[in-house]
Amino acid sequence: MRASIVWFRQDLRLQDNPALAAAIKRGKPVLPVFIWAPAEEGGWSPGAASQWWLHHALQDLQALLRREGSRLLIEDAGTGSSLDTLLFLARQSGADRVYWNRRYEPAAIARDEQVSKQLSREGIRTESSNSAMLLEPPDIKNKSGRPFRVFTPLWNHYRTRTIPAPVCVDLEALQTPKTWPQRNPLDAHTFLPSTRWDGGLAARFGNPTRTRLLTRFDEFIPTRAAAYLTNRDDPAKDGTTLLSPALHWGQIGPREAWKRLDQSNPAVESGLMRQLIWREFSHHLLVHFPQTTHRPLRNEFLQFPWREDPEHLRLWQQGETGYPIVDAGMRQLWQTGWMHNRVRMIVGSLLVKHLLGHWLEGARWFWDTLVDADLANNTFGWQWIAGCGADAAPYFRIFNPILQGERFDPDGTYVKTFLPELDKVPTKFIHRPWALGDLDLASCGVKLGQNYPRPVIEHTFGRARALEAFQANKARAGSDSSS
Ligand SMILES: Cc1cc2nc3c(=O)[nH]c(=O)nc-3n(C[C@H](O)[C@H](O)[C@H](O)COP(=O)(O)OP(=O)(O)OC[C@H]3O[C@@H](n4cnc5c(N)ncnc54)[C@H](O)[C@@H]3O)c2cc1C
């Protein structure tokens, strides 16, 4: 009896899943499998917060498949590989085809090519599809046939293209095998941390099943999508979709999200639709410039004198920089596994500009703490802030953490949510408590250096030092290229 394996990876849903649709259409029993193979991720295996989300997404997929009379094999590649696991399952089940949806991280691309070659040597056909992008990187080129390195032309290009509709999966036709082979079954609870630090994530996201995520998005669209542009920069507001972890793990596909948006509404077009294209942009960059996971896209930054200062890094990671908007962001990240986009830019700027910390240090910390950690978006975000990536922030853009706080969190609601020790500080001083003076601060219950830190670096000094370093780098790169 022949069978088909569907290898689930970052496409943890049944609908709009072209690999599953193709396997079902073939008309043979289908074995759905997820393989945990962190060693195959090129040094970027899912971090702790991302694994928390993965746990829930897998449990949900398992429940959805059981409802269809099927199940999900959750396997551990262990010291072996995904290939070994697939070969074992194929031999046990008689499967002669393996279906999957494509991934775009360099290590995953290389691994998938190998798996495909080896399986075909064993007489097993493979078929891959696109479930994660609106349009795939190889299909997108600028007028000179090259990859886009600037966002606006890419966005204009997307506006001329037709975005395919989500794929309808005929679950009624899903056939199941008579027996279920298993190699190294992995009880999904192992993705949860052994020391339970995840209470804040559970409080923020509950149990993020596909149904709940779709319900939230469907409620968001009529009430908040048109106001997205007004609200999205206010970290105290629930003004963004929170789609990012669902898109990363594929509980919701981008085409499903796109289809739900009212394309005739200019506010939606220049708001959420454009935002989804930033996600496409970062994936295009990752495919065309795979070295950027560990190297700057702009070569002139290869020699940049980043400062290594473990104590500064620790203060930044723990939200103890003395800049309330930065500390609130870092504590939001630690407590909930998520951080507002505006605040991601502010905290990133403090690390790579004021403190001259390496963008990869920031990227690694985000990687381990974000529930939406995504190699394309994270790499792009960090290189954008550091000024060393595509379409990056110019080197002289150095966010002032005081003014950014005053502008985007004017009454300090966001800061006070995550820094309760500053609760009594008057609004006028909430983003620069040190300016209040010791006596007045004491009457608010704050003693700088004791229950809230002094600024890790003085803003004007940090800004001037960063400008000097970035200017010197530019000059050096200019003279290197002309010599
Ligand atoms: C330093 C830094 C690191 C980041 N790391 C990640 C990451 O690891 N994973 C991740 O998904 N996003 C990352 N982002 C992008 C962005 O912050 C998040 O996608 C966004 O905050 C997620 O919240 P949301 O789903 O409510 O977004 P919304 O504002 O509702 O936007 C909808 C969707 O559009 C996409 N999107 C929005 N902004 C961006 C952007 N700037 N770049 C790429 N895609 C975008 C996301 O898929 C998002 O879910 C990073 C940004 C910065 C500045």
pLDDT tens figures, 406-436: 999 999 999 999 999 999 999 999 999 999 9
Query: What integer pLDDT is reported at residue 396 of this predicted model?
Result: 85
Q: Do 142 and 126 share a structural domain?
A: no
CA 276 to ligand 1 centroid distance, Å:
9
> What is the C-alpha to C-alpha distance for residues 259 and 245, in angstroms, rounded to an integer?
19
CATH number at residue 156: 1.25.40.80
Establish if 196 belongs to a structural domain.
no
- How far from the centroid of its chain's Cα atoms is residue 3's Cα? 34
Establish if 305 belongs to a structural domain.
yes
Give one word for 58, left, alpha or beta, with left for phi > 0 and alpha for psi -120 to 50.
alpha
Q: What is residue 325's three-state secondary structure?
A: helix
What confidence category does residue 483 fall into, taking pLDDT thresholds of 50, 70 and 90? low
Q: Indicate the range of 60-64, 131-135, 269-273, 405-409 predicted with least confidence.
A: 269-273
Give me the percent of the chain exceeding a pLDDT of 70.
Answer: 99
218: containing domain: 133-165+210-288
Query: What integer pLDDT is reported at residue 481 of this predicted model?
Result: 62
The pLDDT tens digits of the residues spanning 311-339 come to 999 999 999 999 999 999 999 999 999 99
Q: Do 314 and 272 share a structural domain?
A: no
Query: What integer pLDDT is reported at residue 232 of this predicted model?
Result: 94
Query: What integer pLDDT is reported at residue 392 of this predicted model?
Result: 78
CA 243 to ligand 1 centroid distance, Å:
9
Of 108, 131, 154, the position where a domain reaches its end is 131
Name the residue at shortest CA distance from atom 23 of ligand 1. 242
b/e string for 19-46 if b means 16 or more Cβ within 10 A? bbbbbbebebbbbbbbbbbeebebebeb
The pLDDT tens digits of the residues spanning 358-378 come to 999 999 999 999 999 999 999
The pLDDT tens digits of the residues spanning 337-363 come to 999 999 999 999 999 999 999 999 999
3-state helix, strand, coil in the chain (%, to 5): 55, 5, 40
Q: Do 454 and 350 share a structural domain?
A: yes
CA 1 to ligand 1 centroid distance, Å:
45
Residue of 152, 169, 137, 162 lying closest to 15 (CA atoms): 169
Give one word for 322, left, alpha or beta, with left for phi > 0 and alpha for psi -120 to 50.
left
CA 49 to ligand 1 centroid distance, Å:
16
Q: Do 123 and 4 share a structural domain?
A: yes
Report pTM: 0.97
Q: Give DSSP secondary structure letters for 111-158.
A: HHHHHHHHHHHTT-EEEEE--S-SS-GGG---TTSS---SHHHHHHHH
Q: Do 143 and 78 share a structural domain?
A: no
Give the contacts of 59 (CB within 8 A, at least 6 positions apart).
188
Query: What integer pLDDT is reported at residue 187 of this predicted model?
Result: 79
What confidence category does residue 272 fall into, taking pLDDT thresholds of 50, 70 and 90? very high
> What is the C-alpha to C-alpha distance for residues 246 and 254, in angstroms, rounded to an integer?
10
Name the residue at shortest CA distance from atom 5 of ligand 1. 378
Ligand 1 proximal residues by C-beta, below 6 Å: 232, 240-244, 247-248, 272, 275-276, 278-279, 282, 341, 344-345, 348, 366, 370, 372-374, 377-378, 380-382, 385
Q: Do 137 and 121 share a structural domain?
A: no
Q: Do 395 and 284 share a structural domain?
A: no
CA 377 to ligand 1 centroid distance, Å:
7
Dihedral sign, Cα of residue 98, residue 50, residue 201, residue 132: negative
pLDDT(83) > 70? yes
Give the contacts of 44 (CB within 8 A, at least 6 positions apart).
105, 107, 293, 367, 375
Pocket test residue of 158, 229, 341 for ligand 1, highest count of atoms within 8 A of CB: 341
Q: Do 469 and 360 share a structural domain?
A: yes
230-247 mean pLDDT: 96
184-197 mean pLDDT: 87
Pocket test residue of 372, 380, 383, 385 for ligand 1, highest count of atoms within 8 A of CB: 372
Name the residue at shortest CA distance from atom 24 of ligand 1. 242
Query: What integer pLDDT is reported at residue 189 of this predicted model?
Result: 78
Dihedral sign, Cα of residue 111, residue 116, residue 120, residue 123: positive
